[in-house]
Structure 1
């Protein structure tokens, strides 16, 4: 039995998520029953994921593990799954977020529970598939599959402007998917490999002409920064978050945005490292603009969800800056930032959702002195906010510090001196550091306005956090503390894979220089 799971761990996870969607769809339309079945399957997915990662997964290897390779359309398109440290960390994040999201769904899923929970499980299938796929066409199929459940989760259970938000999400995602599809087809036909197998294409893509490589890189990169999201393709995210129900926002910020970062690491870096080197300065500027620009946008918002949404855009800028640094620390910091932000943002959206459920408003100006009436909520919010502004000993600090160190010490950026004392990369770091200061400003301002100002007596009857809410928040924030104090427990999982990518790129830089 153990040998079976070792050989088929990845397909088992996909099968469990699909079976979960099917079982829920066939059940009576009762919220508690649908939630319990979904929770059962999500628990099994978490157990299999933990078993896969901590039983026989060897993080010191840079090659794929748990590989499953089946013919689908001959040898051209294969159902090939596999994982390395990079994808394993994202699989683990999804496996952690799914059960807590289901627990948080009870107030939302009273309407059409079968449809709601089946869409959550189908979304899990697509996201897990993206992180597991080792065939480029299979990657595209899983990427596009995510669009369907996410659209319905916003369009059916969203807020008053859900139609606008869901259509906007659909358009942005569809256009991004079209870029991905075009890039995949060009790579396939131009390489002449006769297969969509990523391992084969990683070797063949370097034989493409420079113009083809640049075109394919840009098509893939645009797709991924739409999902990340990054300026100027970020405007769908605040609208989607504001209208999406709380559990959907938790998954959207917690894991769906990470698909964009993962795609850049897996495909843009893996297939076209030469183009990455050429565009590294542009990507660094883009990351810095994200960090600071989105943080400034947070300062002028009155809706708590919009603040957390723009904060996500800002924090994903660190991923771009880390990748652009072309250093081991920068690459590692970007991955750590994705995992850490997944936990922190899910907790913040959960907290905003608990306040909205009780008050039916997200406007900061409507609140005041809530700490007096909801002290438990205040303590959890304070901890999540401190993690979001990168307080030391919390996970948010680790990723940002590694990215800053990588960019500041980058030998590649040192090749581009400026008229000032600092080189190009160091100027990007100093500019991005403004984002850290601004993050502290808007998070502390948010806490002061909502929790610490003069008590608003109309909230005197508010009830504090329920047991299920404490469990969800506690589960997420305990991990934020653990990975903040012991970051190596997470970084040891993916670091050999990220270092392997960096060494590959570094060798190309040496050849160019």
Structure 2
């Protein structure tokens, strides 16, 4: 298993480099190379999962990570400031391992969805592979500088993939995405620099997130837990946590910094919506869990109620907006805002079941949401239109399509037996069992499930049942059922959503020991 993480991380970049020397008109070669690169990522991820020690009980964060790769990367003298040391430091634990596997799988679905892109295919697939490496890098990086580098590199490919291959308002959507995400990155950058100056490894400062997680702080620095230093009247650690909440909250996204997401989803091509919803939002949630909560557990306890309230607002506000939409893709986008609110509620509970529920819900949503965007893309590819009032009775004309739609709509609203139910149930158990906030948080979060049922069931009733109808007669010839390629994308997603709903241990067995160790850092016991 030596260097397997490096192969998963860097192989797409190597293929992207090869693509630079291939003539642009050979667009079929680019999609085959992209498929091969991401398929190898997935195979290596599965090998890692098979060899991952699920029974490992960590005694420290350094002992929690497996398949660790570590080497000196950058050493640079800064004069009187000292020497800056950056490491190539990779590893996975029970939190990141399922997310790496999810990323490899969703990225492969995205490549298959990109199969019919012929215009500027060379640029598209090079950017897609850079995005692939960046996403994986965020989940396996154990050096904060390397994490931040991957976090930033996700921004540029996504900006161009939306701005060049998106819809009619693609320039507006891509610039809005860029500005929001860049703003969030600046907040994270400030914290990263502060942590570097505060955390030591031996005699020098370090970007090692493992040292940060294990609390190896210098005794007289600004982010030391016992430091009396204040900034604008606030503890430096409190400000650092707030900055991380803002930075990662934008990527999540949480209300009120969510407005870039519906525009980006609506204008992005279907494959990019698949990756955006399935993976980029999870990077924001992962950053909150790993960095904000992991490094500042003392502050997280004090802000747990605030985080949970933001989660409840996101659940209800996103759900009500989804209920008001007429564009199918925009409805799915707002449903993502709502469902990511459950992740915040689980984190706010600071309980083992709440943390496990948040992680499980991240994985579940990472399968359900891409499928929903694929379903919206089917209609748009056939008609160039996504307005729900323009369609009715599609079940009679497209029965296979209707079956997959029903599976993922019911998974999204939390039907028992499907993965969405398990994640939401665990989050709600954490909310009701938490000592950090009122029972009203759990009650209002439960109301969000009813709102989800309302917009999903209303969409089913409007578009798929009743008398068959399409607005334009020119669309009639395009209203055929799913193609083999479309089935190839939706069948494995369906299998995983059902399997996780029936047997949640597919995810929980990987995360249990790590989450139990994580919750011990808060010194408040388990529910």
For normalisation by structure 1, the TM-score amounts to 0.93
Change (3 A) 1:61 1:41: farther
Change (3 A) 1:141 1:17: same
Aligned to 1:34: 30
Map 1:256-271 onto structure 2 (within 5 A).
256-271=280-295
Aligned to 2:232: none
Residue number among 203, 206, 229 corresponding to 1:195 in the alignment: 206
Which range moves more in the overlay, 202-211 or 343-352?
202-211
Aligned to 1:83: 92
Q: Determine whether 1:502 maps to 2:519.
A: yes
Q: Determine whether 1:470 maps to 2:487.
A: yes
* Corresponding residue pairs, total: 491
Residue number among 442, 446, 454 corresponding to 1:433 in the alignment: 446
Q: Determine whether 1:8 maps to 2:25.
A: no
Map 1:158-169 onto structure 2 (within 5 A).
158-169=166-177
Map 1:107-126 onto structure 2 (within 5 A).
107=116, 109-126=117-134
Q: Distance in 2 between matches of 1:233 and 1:405?
A: 27
Residue deviations 1:220-257, cap 9 Å, x none? 11111100000110000000000000000000000000
Residue deviations 1:200-238, cap 9 Å, x none? 222125536361101111111111110000011000000
Structure 2 residues not aligned, in runs of 5+: 59-63, 76-83, 218-222, 229-234
* Contact 1:305–1:352, Cα closer than 8 Å, also in 2: yes
- Other structure's SS at 1:50 match: helix
Aligned to 1:447: 460
- Other structure's SS at 1:73 match: strand
Q: Distance in 2 between matches of 1:76 and 1:261?
A: 27
Deviation at 1:447, TM superposition (A): 1.1
- Choose between structure 1 and 2: higher helix proportion: 1
Q: Determine whether 1:183 maps to 2:194.
A: no
* Contact 2:52–2:66, Cα closer than 8 Å, also in 1: no
Q: Distance in 2 between matches of 1:190 and 1:501?
A: 22
RMSD: 1.4
Structure 1 residues not aligned, in runs of 5+: 1-5, 414-423
Q: Determine whether 1:327 maps to 2:361.
A: no
Residue deviations 1:161-182, cap 9 Å, x none? 0000000000001111111111
Q: Distance in 2 between matches of 1:232 and 1:499?
A: 31
* Contact 1:151–1:169, Cα closer than 8 Å, also in 2: yes
Change (3 A) 1:215 1:385: same
* Contact 1:59–1:84, Cα closer than 8 Å, also in 2: no
Deviation at 1:190, TM superposition (A): 3.9
Which range moves more in the overlay, 392-401 or 489-498?
489-498
Q: Determine whether 1:45 maps to 2:74.
A: no
For normalisation by structure 2, the TM-score amounts to 0.91
Aligned to 1:157: 165
Aligned to 1:418: none
Deviation at 1:47, TM superposition (A): 0.7
Q: Distance in 1 between matches of 2:53 and 2:125?
A: 31
Q: Distance in 2 between matches of 1:357 and 1:460?
A: 13
Deviation at 1:23, TM superposition (A): 2.5
Q: Distance in 1 between matches of 2:521 and 2:451?
A: 36
Q: Distance in 2 between matches of 1:409 and 1:172?
A: 35
Aligned to 2:424: 400
Aligned to 1:73: 74
Residue deviations 1:414-451, cap 9 Å, x none? xxxxxxxxxx1x21111111110010010011111111
